[in-house]
């Protein structure tokens, strides 16, 4: 049995289980962060050691803020297909709703489905009425997810990431 590393709740959607990270998620996350063509295209690939630190930072996020990345798993399976969650690093002005899908999981609507669940949870559990997504100007697939989630860019660039636009998610849509 996997030991929970965080206090993350388990959320369920029609096709997905969203749960906190467990140790066995590290190899898939490491593979994604070190060799994903999408991470490479964005200049964001990292070393195995940096992926390990990133994983632990994610665990710490839950401890510090009470939120972080959920691991996405399809119902009836155990292999992670991605991560969706909330981030708030020390130098970021707002809480970000972020997503990463692992290779083979793209194009199935998982980021949108999980994003809706995490956004609803964020509004209900934490009382947020505004979230943002920091999306690279050239990342059209993530921009499409943000649009499906009802977000709009306000034209600003993220101070911590000048190549990223700020996409705003306002209160729970009806």
Q: Whole domain around residue 37: which residue ranges?
A: 11-170
Whose structure tokens read 């009806």?
174
Residue 1 resides in a domain? no
CB 32 within 8 A of CB 40: no
Whole-number Å distance between alpha carbons of 131 and 118: 11
Predicted TM-score of the model (pTM):
0.92
Per the document, the length of the chain is 174
Residue 32 lies in a domain: yes
Q: Which helix (H) or strand (E) holds 126?
A: helix 110-126
- Domain of 24, CATH number, reads 3.40.630.30
In a domain, residue 5? The reply is no
Sign of CA dihedral 13, 15, 21, 23: positive
Residue 4 within any structural domain of the chain: no
If one counts the domains in the chain, the total is 1
Which tens digits make up the pLDDT trace of 45-82? 778 999 999 999 999 999 999 999 999 999 999 899 99
> In which order are the strands placed within the sheet that holds 80-87?
11-12, 16-19, 69-74, 80-87, 96-101, 130-136, 161-170, 152-158
For 118-160, the pLDDT digits (tens) are 999 999 999 999 999 999 999 999 999 999 999 999 889 999 8
3-state helix, strand, coil in the chain (%, to 5): 35, 30, 35
Per-residue pLDDT reduced to its tens digit, 142-153: 999 999 999 999
Answer whether residue 116 is part of any domain. Answer: yes
């Amino acid at each position: 049995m996997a030991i929970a590393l965080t206090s993350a709740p388990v959320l369920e959607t029609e096709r997905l289980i969203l749960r906190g990270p467990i140790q066995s998620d590290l190899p898939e996350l490491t593979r994604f962060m070190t060799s994903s063509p999408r991470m490479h295209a964005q200049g964001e690939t990292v070393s195995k050691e940096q992926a390990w630190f990133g994983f632990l930072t994610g665990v710490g996020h839950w401890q510090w803020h009470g939120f972080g990345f959920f691991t996405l798993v399809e119902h009836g399976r155990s292999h992670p297909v991605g991560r969706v969650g909330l981030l708030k690093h020390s130098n970021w002005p707002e809480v970000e709703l972020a997503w990463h899908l692992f290779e083979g999981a793209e194009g199935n609507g998982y980021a949108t489905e999980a994003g809706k669940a995490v956004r609803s949870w964020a509004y209900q559990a934490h009382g947020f009425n505004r979230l943002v997504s920091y999306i690279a100007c050239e990342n059209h697939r993530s921009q499409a997810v943000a649009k499906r989630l009802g977000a709009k860019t306000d034209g600003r660039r993220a101070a911590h990431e000048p190549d990223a636009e700020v996409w705003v998610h306002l209160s729970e849509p009806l």
